[in-house]
């Protein structure tokens, strides 16, 4: 069950090797991991990323970063 749950993440990370550059591959893998983490927590990835990026841009305190994680997302 666990292996099936993490397979989409592993496939996307492997595919990111063909992103065109090392930096592009790392960025792709990071974004894909964030999206998959949101999905695994039954959270809409677009809504969560939008809210999280807006809060960071507004000066969210680094000491409270745990509140921005998908498992703490308030719909």
Full residue range of the structural domain in which residue 23 is found: 2-72
Q: Which residue in the block uniquely carries the two structure tokens 């927590």?
A: 41
pLDDT in tens, 8-66: 767 666 666 666 777 877 887 788 889 889 998 999 999 999 999 999 999 999 999 99
Number of domains in the chain: 1
pTM of the model: 0.69
Q: What whole-number distance in Å separates Cα of residue 28 and Cα of residue 15?
A: 9
Tokens 């970063």 belong to residue: 65
């Amino acid at each position: 069950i666990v292996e099936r749950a993490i397979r989409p993440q592993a496939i996307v990370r492997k595919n990111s090797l063909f992103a065109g550059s090392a930096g592009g591959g790392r960025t792709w893998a990071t974004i894909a991991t964030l999206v998959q983490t949101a999905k695994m927590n039954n959270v809409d990835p677009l809504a969560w990323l939008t809210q999280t990026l807006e809060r960071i841009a507004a000066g969210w305190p680094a000491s409270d970063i745990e509140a921005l994680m998908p498992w703490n997302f308030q719909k």
